[in-house]
Structure 1
Amino acid sequence: MISKILTAAAVSLALTAPVVSQANTKLLTGDARLACEAILCLSTGSPPSECRPALKKYFSIKLKRAHKTLAARKNFLKLCPSSDGTDNSAMIESVVHGRGR
């Protein structure tokens, strides 16, 4: 009885392993990931501690002129792809000119 349960569990794991590995390959990494995290973190009232790396990257973007800094930060946030291919410029614009200063 126990061997049948263990066999069923092993077969189940073997069948789901490819699905899990395929799902992991679609995760964002690098600056695209940080840009998406920064958008989420800047959109919330009090960002959690998990936001530190993304916000550190965002606020480390500093140029000599304020308008150039905002443009560079906006370009950084544009690295975050839209899931359905739509343009998210309006949302990014409001984040940059709102809390993301």
Structure 2
Amino acid sequence: MKILVMGGTEFVSSSLTKYLISKGYIVDIFTRGIKSIKYNGIRKHLKGDRKSIEDLKVNISNEKYDYIFDISAPQINLYEGLELAYKWYCSAKPDVKDAKMNKIDLVLDI
């Protein structure tokens, strides 16, 4: 199973990433590339601005993820039109009524 974590350097996103890696998942992270990553096990460290549709397209439009976790998304419609994942877990209120972009209050036991 391939997972993308938006972020990966702050407490929540890095803890989530390390947990997913410990469970054997293939994990990529997408950060601004400002802070160093203080753990091992990620497949790819993608760098860009999550608020830039161009940065998202350049970095991840050729990827397909089973799950994407975005802990601090300001709005989920940033990802509108990008067919990137089967399920999205996002802290933002969903602005898009699309089956591929779900706000889930309880994280499933993946």
Higher relative contact order (CA 8 A, sep 6+): 1
User: Is this a same-fold pair by TM over 0.5?
Assistant: no
Higher radius of gyration, 1 or 2: 1
TM-score by length of 1: 0.26
